[in-house]
């Protein structure tokens, strides 16, 4: 549930609708410049279950995303989360408790200034390591839970409020180098909670080898100023449907890493065959506490966790996720069983000819 916790912390229901209306207004204001530039509504809808210690929680969730181009250089984009969290009543009481949340995950405007630079403003996902801004959507992640270190370097809310520049710094035949830099102002607004911080990420991609390696750094500039460092390595060998992703993160009080591999075979009729749609996933992760000032969302004790997943990629953008995880820590070892189904949607915002 860690991945979803990032959203939950930011989600308060009543005022949320107002901000969703802003997003819809931006969508309505979009003026398509070309025939292909109709605003798009995308996202995922899913239903997840998680069983731990004999207790099962249920989570129906939708994460709609809108993207609306304005002219040739501007894009307004936003993602929201709507969920209902159902969990067993505590103590000896029968039945279930439930709570619902609606809120924005991000809302940003992008200005494509040149082939090497895009300037983004608004509420954006903090580009620390890769999970937060690249893998967190429910229709992308291979496992229901995010990594244990997902909250490291993302300042609780996972988003910043301010400006960000990003782009492709160097592009050659063999290597491509990307960069991202942001500055965030503090905000206590329910929907746009953020801390004063700055940081960025640089990554190199070796095109022939399909290998990406990057380094992230950010620094909290309010309260106790803290530095966060991250590194990631991704590899997707040519001609295969194998992916290896890994991250290392270090904060002032804790650090950790995760390595995840997933694979789909093409040997039995291709990826769209019954066998090719099966996707085994394995993730290994460890966290280490440096001290007990647990301000970073990582477990309070050193933790090891192995996740064994088995996904099935159904036709029509639907995916079934199932996983078993075993977590070890001095606070107690436990099993986590999770299942889920996710549907990804993608269509024009309005009907056209």
Partner 1 sequence: MPLKRALCSFLILTSVSIQASVSAFAAGRQSNAQAPAQANSAAEPKGGEQDRDEGERVFQQHCSRCHTAPDGFSPRISGTILRHMRVRASLSQREEKELLRFFNP
According to CB under 8 A, which residues from 219 to 258 bind partner 1? 231, 233-244, 246, 248, 250, 255-257
CA–CA gap between residue 218 and residue 227 (Å, rounded): 6
Phi, psi (degrees; rounded to nearest 5) at 2:
-60, -40
Stretch 257-276: interaction string toward partner 1, x if CB under 8 A = x-x-x----xx--xxx----
Residue 17 contacts partner 1 per CB under 8 A: no
Q: CA angle 322-44-27, nearest 5°?
A: 170
Tell me whether residue 8 or residue 134 sits nearer to partner 1 (CB atom).
134
Task: Write the CA distances from 46 to 40, 41, 309, integer angstroms.
Answer: 20, 16, 17
Could you tell me if 321 and 309 are in contact, meaning their C-beta atoms sit under 8 angstroms apart? yes
CA–CA gap between residue 258 and residue 245 (Å, rounded): 8
Secondary-structure breakdown of the chain: helix, strand, coil percentages, each rounded to the nearest 5 = 5, 55, 35
Q: How far is the CB of 142 from partner 1 (least distance, A)?
A: 10
Tell me whether residue 20 or residue 231 sits nearer to partner 1 (CB atom).
231
* Residues of span 71-100 touching partner 1 by CB under 8 A: 75, 77
Tell me whether residue 3 or residue 166 sits nearer to partner 1 (CB atom).
166
Q: How far is the CB of 12 from partner 1 (least distance, A)?
A: 27
H/E run at residue 35:
none
Q: Which residues, 6+ apart, have CB-to-CB distance to 242 below 8 Å?
A: 236, 261, 262, 263
Tell me whether residue 188 or residue 239 sits nearer to partner 1 (CB atom).
239
Could you tell me if 302 and 289 are in contact, meaning their C-beta atoms sit under 8 angstroms apart? yes
Tell me whether residue 240 or residue 330 sits nearer to partner 1 (CB atom).
240
Q: Which of 14, 36, 93, 292 touches partner 1 by CB under 8 A?
A: 36
* Residues of span 97-136 touching partner 1 by CB under 8 A: 110, 112, 115, 118, 120, 133-135
E strand intervals along 115-174 = 117-125, 159-171
Q: Which of 43, 64, 69, 146 touches partner 1 by CB under 8 A?
A: 69
- CB atoms closer than 10 angstroms to residue 109: 17
Candidate ranges 11-19, 28-36, 293-301, 333-341; the one touching partner 1 (CB under 8 A): 28-36
* Residues of span 197-216 touching partner 1 by CB under 8 A: 205, 207, 210, 212
CA nearest to 250, candidates 220, 228, 226, 225 = 228
Q: Which residues, 6+ apart, have CB-to-CB distance to 14 below 8 Å?
A: none
Could you tell me if 143 and 135 are in contact, meaning their C-beta atoms sit under 8 angstroms apart? no
* Residues of span 300-339 touching partner 1 by CB under 8 A: 313, 315-317
Both tokens assigned to 310: 């088995």
For the chain, how far is it from start to end, CA to CA, in angstroms?
Answer: 42
Tell me whether residue 196 or residue 218 sits nearer to partner 1 (CB atom).
218
Residue 288 contacts partner 1 per CB under 8 A: yes
Q: How far is the CB of 72 from partner 1 (least distance, A)?
A: 9
Residue 346 contacts partner 1 per CB under 8 A: yes
* Residues of span 159-188 touching partner 1 by CB under 8 A: 166-168, 171, 178
Tell me the site size for partner 1, rule CB under 8 A.
71
Q: Which of 29, 140, 275, 294 touches partner 1 by CB under 8 A?
A: 140
Q: How far is the CB of 100 from partner 1 (least distance, A)?
A: 27
């Amino acid at each position: 549930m860690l991945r979803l916790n990032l959203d939950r912390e930011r989600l308060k229901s009543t005022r949320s609708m107002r901000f969703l209306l802003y997003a819809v207004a931006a969508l309505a204001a979009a003026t398509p410049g070309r025939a292909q530039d109709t605003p798009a509504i995308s996202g995922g809808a899913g239903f997840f279950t998680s069983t731990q210690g004999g207790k099962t929680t249920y989570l129906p969730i939708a994460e709609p995303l809108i993207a609306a181009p304005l002219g040739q250089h501007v894009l307004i984009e936003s993602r929201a989360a709507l969920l209902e969290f159902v969990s067993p009543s505590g103590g000896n009481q029968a039945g279930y408790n439930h709570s619902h949340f609606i809120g924005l995950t991000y809302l940003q405007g992008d200005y494509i200034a040149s082939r090497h630079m895009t300037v983004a403003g608004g509420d954006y996902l903090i580009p620390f390591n890769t999970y937060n801004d690249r893998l967190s959507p429910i229709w992308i992640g291979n496992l229901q839970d995010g990594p244990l270190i997902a909250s490291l370097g993302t300042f609780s809310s996972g988003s910043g409020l301010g400006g960000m520049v990003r782009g492709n710094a160097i592009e050659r035949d063999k290597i491509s180098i990307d960069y991202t830099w942001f500055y965030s102002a503090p905000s206590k607004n329910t929907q746009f909670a953020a801390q004063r911080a700055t940081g960025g990420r640089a990554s190199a991609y070796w095109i022939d080898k399909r290998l990406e390696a990057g380094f992230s750094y950010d620094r909290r500039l309010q309260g106790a100023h803290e530095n966060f460092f991250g590194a990631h390595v991704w590899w997707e060998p040519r001609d295969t449907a194998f992916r290896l992703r890994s991250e290392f993160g270090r904060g002032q009080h804790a650090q950790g890493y995760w390595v995840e591999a997933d694979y789909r075979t093409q040997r039995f009729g291709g990826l769209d065959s019954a066998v090719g749609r099966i996707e085994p996933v394995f993730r290994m992760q460890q966290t280490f506490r440096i001290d007990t000032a647990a301000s970073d969302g990582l477990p309070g004790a050193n933790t090891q966790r192995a996740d064994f997943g088995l996904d099935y990629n159904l036709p029509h953008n639907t995916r079934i996720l199932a996983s078993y995880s075993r977590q070890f820590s001095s606070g107690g070892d436990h099993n986590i069983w999770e299942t889920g189904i996710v549907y990804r949607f993608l269509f024009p915002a309005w009907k056209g000819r």
